[in-house]
Amino acid sequence: MPILSFLYKGTSMAKSKTVFFCQNCGYESAKWLGKCPSCQEWNTFVEEVIIKGPGPSLSARTSGAAVSKTVPLHEVKGGEDLRIITPDQELNRVLGGGIVAGSLVLVAGEPGIGKSTLFLQTGLHMTGLATLYVSGEESEQQIRMRADRIASPHEQFYLLTETNTQVIFEEIRKMQPGLVIVDSIQTLHTPYIESSPGSVSQIRECAAEFQRFAKETGIPVFLIGHITKDGNIAGPKILEHMVDTVLQFEGDQHYTFRILRTTKNRFGSTSELGIYEMTGAGLRMVANPSQLLIAQREEILSGTAIAATLEGLRPLLVEVQALVTPSVYGTPQRTATGFDTRRLQLLLAVLEKRGGFHFGLKDVFLNIAGGLKIEDPSIDLAVLCALLSSYEDLPLPPHTCFTGEVGLSGEIRAVGRIEQRIAEAAKLGFEKMVISRYNLKGLDPSMYPIDIVSVARVEEVYELFFK
């Protein structure tokens, strides 16, 4: 498929105007406003001078491109999306089965978390497909040093250090790659807008140019982006609407684990995640994260429970740690890491009301080991058992895991895909699994090499393990 040049034919009669952009949502105004009428944020407008030349001529727009026309829906040819399968199975899972041809993917994450490393090694391992890596942040020598540490580059991996979008599109037209990686969108600038790289107007216009390029040529493009101090993607909110997929690369720099999440995906699920381990030779895929997320200790301590949860289609066993201590100050503390604090308060209220446990004068601390953030409600039963274990200072039986959602009336509710959770626990050598009694419908416990215990109420859980 021919690749368009996207080079505008400018003239000396360029139009110039001064506009104000909201740095939060990208709202445009002819004058400065104290409060944005779109996102309701205060003092977010910045002034920018925009100089735009005329758009591409008719011949440039139609050269090598099909002219759009209205067609009935039943005449449109169906079929599955064409996908490029990468050597990175974690990336394939997060994207929904591979890279869709002509897709525009935005990847964001904290500085130094490993975004550039991840996609540099992805491009280096894409043998049989010409890959162009565009960098506006590092020199060729710096990228070569990292590439030598990660993998030996193949012959079809090309490098371009440039920030001008028109020069980039001209190089793309010459070499015709099969995949384009841009690091990063905040460093690019188009010559038809007079503002600094990273400004609202530059990010929006550069992203729009790559969007047109990807859709008209069928070449997938990855845009690596920065985030703000609040954890949001830097630039206007419209940037996330323009792209097809938004990936969030996160993790604690004090841990070796990195997690790739999907927050938007037009071609797959948004509940999948990929787990990597940062090593000296780059990012290593973690095929079985449950073994790494469960601490291996010889001593059995109170306040620890193992939860069988799901992230997308992947079953995970994670360790839940709880600490309940008498409150030294007047107001008891409620602190949760990797778990919703409001959900923790809800579970404590259930234990107070339905179980008669007095947490009102206790400090409660909860942690999901490994730096994961779990949103699956099936972790409720493990959190509840960890809290009771720390409250009574009695350890739970070893080789036991839990899965179940806790309702406001103290009932243990059923969870989905219970067979996958049981199979994962059995594979890792667990001997007993506690589930909801309502999950027994249609389930044959004799099929699994693990003892399945069912409970229906919070009171039954307490009598089973702490009496």
79 annotated among ligand-binding-site residues: no
Looking only at the bridges linking them, the beta strands covering 334-337 and 362-368 are parallel
Three-class secondary structure of residue 207 per DSSP = helix
Q: Please report where in the chains the tokens 């989905």 appear, as a residue.
A: 416
Q: Residues 106, 244: contact at Cβ < 8 Å?
A: no
251 annotated among ligand-binding-site residues: no
110 annotated among ligand-binding-site residues: yes
Q: Residues 118, 279: contact at Cβ < 8 Å?
A: no
Looking only at the bridges linking them, the beta strands covering 104-109 and 99-100 are unpaired
113 annotated among ligand-binding-site residues: yes
Q: Residues 127, 157: contact at Cβ < 8 Å?
A: no
The identity of residue 47, as a single letter, is E
Cα separation, 162 vs 139, in Å, equals: 10
Looking only at the bridges linking them, the beta strands covering 83-84 and 104-109 are unpaired
218 annotated among ligand-binding-site residues: no
Cα separation, 264 vs 271, in Å, equals: 9
The identity of residue 446, as a single letter, is S
Segments in 77-160 forming alpha helices (H): 89-95, 115-124, 140-150
Token readout for 458 is 């919070």
112 annotated among ligand-binding-site residues: yes
Q: Which residues are annotated as a binding site?
A: 109-116
Q: Which residues are annotated as a binding site for ATP?
A: 109-116
